[in-house]
Each structure stands twice: as structure tokens, then as C-alpha cells.
Amino acid sequence: MNHTFKVSALALCALLTSACNATNPNEKQDTGLRVVTWNIEHLAADNSKGCKPRTEQEISALQQYAKSLDADVIAFQEVGSIQALETVFDKSQWQLILSDRKDSPSYTCRGNGLTSTQQKVAFAVKKPLNVEKVVHHKQFSDIQMGLRSGLEVQIGYQGKTIDLLNVHLKSGCFVDDYRRSDKKSCKLLAKQVPLLDNWVETKSAEQANFIVLGDFNHRLTAPYNRVSRDLYYPNGLADKAPNDLSKATFFNANQMLTGCHPYYPAPIDHILVSNTLKQKYVQGSVKFHYFDNMKPKEMLSDHCALSIDLN
């Protein structure tokens, strides 16, 4: 073998070896933590009931999809009960935690005429992660019957505590400035936002590692959005410097993402990460996990799961 060819062959081998050993940016790092939010859409213990009845095949597809997330912590919205979660998750492998909000009155579902099941927030935490504390934030639902409570879990991870707050805010207020709208939905949202802002500011003042995630029912990534500005800045700074992100206490991991639903490109699911976790956040890891079938009427749920990775 001549010297030139030998050197080229060695270089090619080194390149191929490097490529094979490179980390796939879409795969979770072995030592990392994947955090997910997913509005699973009216998940009921009896899959023949509620506003989103499902066949056995669809339940099986949900189970496979859930496994494909490769998640460590999942914040759910629209869960009827712990038993509902157990139709998708093996309780021997997951710690399942449900909001203790009182049941709200049922209603007739649009489209199928069935009776609704409960819509509560919940967490699934992969064993053996340590859940240090659970906090039920009923102030979000005490505003009016039918609103959802917030649910906070504190996770012990690599010697540190991460506080995760799961929210499902009032729907129907899709305007840039909720404070200027006379819609009832916006007036209710206007009572929830200060509660959320207070939680964020308290955690920020404590220099806590925190993540707020869930279905905000609001387009936080839209330009000039009032909710995001109110949350980002302490002490009303949004009014003084709305575009100075250097003073924000956290960042929206999916700020640049388009939502997965074909009809609704502006995302309303968000993962807000404290600046104390910025160095742990794997840049570019945020993504929506698309279903195999993305036809709007055939999707497994009307929201795709959204995830981030921490290293």
C-alpha cells in the first residue's frame, strides 16, 4: 500500500469511527434528565367514556408513544384519575401523582354527546428518581369551579433539588394583551397570571432551580405577549424594558419552535426554565414529539408531547 493511500485510509477510518461515536442530538444523553409536558387529552380510566374515547389499539399506541419519549419526568394535563394514568404507565416503574383538586361538574362533550370525565394535572416520575415534596396549588382553581389547580413536585437529582410546577391555565384568551380584553376567559386568566408570577418571583429570589411547564392556553412566544413579559421580569420591569431579556429570570426553551398541530402553529404548551439551570440545559434539545399519524382527527391527542434535556 502506498503511503498516500495508507494515510487517506487511516483518515477515513478515524472519520467513520468519530461519526459512529458521535452523540445523536435527538437522543437523550445517558446521564441526563428528560423533562416532558403533555396534554394527553381527556385520559379516562374507562377508555370508552369521556370526550376522547379510545380503542384498545389507541391505548396500546399511547403506551408505545409514551415509551418513545424516553422521559424521566412527565407533566400531564387532562387526566381523569391515577387509574387513567395506569392505562398508559406501569406503576411499578413510575411514581404517579395527581392533583387533589375536587371534582368539578361534568358536561356533555362536543361531537360525541358523551359525559365528560375530570381534567386534572398530574406527574409521572420515573423510578428511582426521588420525589422530595409535592405541593398542591389550589389557588389556581379556587378562582372558579372547573379551573385546574397547579401541581408542584420537587425532584432530587444529582445532589440538587429541581422544583417543577405543572399548570393548565384558562383557555380561550388568545390575545397579545390579556389585560385589555373584556372576554370572560381573559378576566379569569388575569387572576391566574399573578399567582404564577408570584411563584416564579419567589423561586427566583431563592435562587432555586425551577421549571414551569404545561398547557398555558396562551401564545407566550408571540411578539408583545403580555403574559410572558409579566412573568419574565420581576417587579413590573416589563413596563420599563419589555425587550431586555438579560434581566429575565428564566427562559422559554421552545421560544423558536412551531407547534405540532397542523391547525395551530403557535404553541400554547411551554417549558420555562430558570436561569440557574441554564448551564444544565442541553442547547437545541427542545422538541415536539410528533405522532406517527398527524391527521388532525386521528392524532392520539390534540397536543404533542414537548421535551427538553438537562445534562
Q: What is the pLDDT of residues 31-56, one digit of tens each?
A: 699 999 999 999 999 999 999 999 99
Say whether pLDDT at 223 is over 90.
no
- Residue 87 makes CB contacts below 8 A (sequence gap 6+) with 43, 45, 47, 59, 62
pLDDT bin (cut points 50, 70, 90) of residue 111 is confident
Tell me the domain boundaries of the chain: 29-310
Contact 155, 161 (CB under 8 A): yes
- Residue 236 makes CB contacts below 8 A (sequence gap 6+) with none
Would you state the pLDDT for residue 78?
98
Say whether pLDDT at 5 is over 60.
no
Q: What is the mean pLDDT of residues 288-292?
A: 98
Say whether pLDDT at 15 is over 80.
no
Say whether pLDDT at 299 is over 60.
yes
Q: What is the mean pLDDT of residues 246-263?
A: 91
Cell of residue 131, nine digits: 420525589
Q: What is the pLDDT of residues 133-164, one digit of tens each?
A: 999 999 999 999 999 999 999 999 989 999 99
Would you state the pLDDT for residue 17?
39
Q: What is the pLDDT of residues 117-129, one digit of tens each?
A: 999 999 999 999 9
Q: What is the mean pLDDT of residues 6-18?
A: 41
Would you state the pLDDT for residue 13?
40
pLDDT bin (cut points 50, 70, 90) of residue 248 is confident
Which CATH superfamily groups domain 29-310? Answer: Endonuclease/exonuclease/phosphatase (3.60.10.10)
Q: For the chain, give the mean pLDDT.
A: 89
The CA-to-CA distance between both ends of the chain, in Å, stands at 45
Q: What is the mean pLDDT of residues 59-71?
A: 98
